[in-house]
Chain A
């Protein structure tokens, strides 16, 4: 089964679900309700977990923006992008520059961060639109090659224009501490999680609504059959550019959040490897489902953490440990990706749906 076909089925399934007459609650309200529930869970978790886990969860949220955006583009609209790491870099650097500019003028209150995030998203929208317009004309290996070039070249530009981006050193990101109203000893990581989770939930609600909207249907139509989509009156190129821009905006937000969390941006963090990681995460999570993007984002954070714990089990020289820690997650990701593409092109979420589908078939449950 091919990836696009595997993706095609759940796409149709969700479309059916959304038109199910039983659901009287409007889509937006339903998504908002889910988001509120998740927000409550995150809020409770942020008090239960230690600082480090809070920080990790915040990182998951940041990656989730990017993987969700990539899922919309690749899974729903059928366009491959190897360049989302570069788009994250765009968002991250835009945020760093804006925050620094604010800090220079003494505007350090937390509210300015929202402005910076918006600027970061807008900057990525511009870059995404440029790439998207070219990409909409391209297919298959040409599109892959172009976005790969974007992934390789954009981080290198920080060295080309080191007057602005400060080369390999990168830029600091001044971020305001947690509001004083939360108390003097309020952990910074908890505040980071709140910020990241809030931004990410907003992004996901918007994406989920887009997916269920007229645009989402156009995306899927274009993915499944361009000619048929055109005959049905869909402007294919415009649809693809929209998908690319939306996806870029999400990646930009993700990158900006990463910058907020790390309080520093440098090109090393946004190289080709990050772009490939994002694609891997989306594929392994399961193309074409936003739920798959969640799995992917968790994997991106969990896997390096897991290898770190694993290498700690052995007594290694510091140099050897560093080599392994940096590279084992890459190797696992690469290997898993190959195996998943060969054995289960539907990814984790595909396996889960197949499993629950099989269970349902065996024990039909009456659902109201």
Chain B
């Protein structure tokens, strides 16, 4: 009996929280067929927002992948003072609200700060421009690659790397031929998570972008702006596009995850 009650509660919970809202958005989007969706998504503003989102997410994923693998190696393979502090800092973006991140970035890189004005005198605008949005996205998605790679690196151990060294491999060769293949699935998982987070980021990007339509507007900002302007078809279409991308990345992570286990020994 208790089991049935629990089941009903669980189903109702996911129904009202997840299935109904997402389902309704998709129903509203495709209610009148595929035509309105394609029309809404091919408007210049929507296409531009899509492009901005891809640019920002692309750079953020690239930065976090390189940084993530580097920091994971540092945390697992090396001993140094302040290691635990670094480990704690990596998780900070999980705890700090993205809006705070955005405001902090404006404080450091804004036009009226010393750093911001110096960079601007070199012709480099950070805030209200792509670099600032990339920075904000990098920050909020920072821990994802590191946290995906660290446990696998720990489990992998360093004996294979040492064996490669005694066989004549240098540091780079050891990394490319032994370490990287050993962490590839975990790295793929981390990258996909990072991509999903980057595509969906709203708060931090909203603050640093200035929400300039057709300039610094990402897809999430576009959804919000269209909704505020009573352009519901466009808002729903873009929201559905975001949801579909999320579903695809989710499926990718499901595909990547079990492989790590079968590769463990």
Q: Tell me, yes or no, whether A binds B.
A: no
List the interface of chain A (C-beta within 8 A of B).
Answer: none
List the interface of chain B (C-beta within 8 A of A).
Answer: none
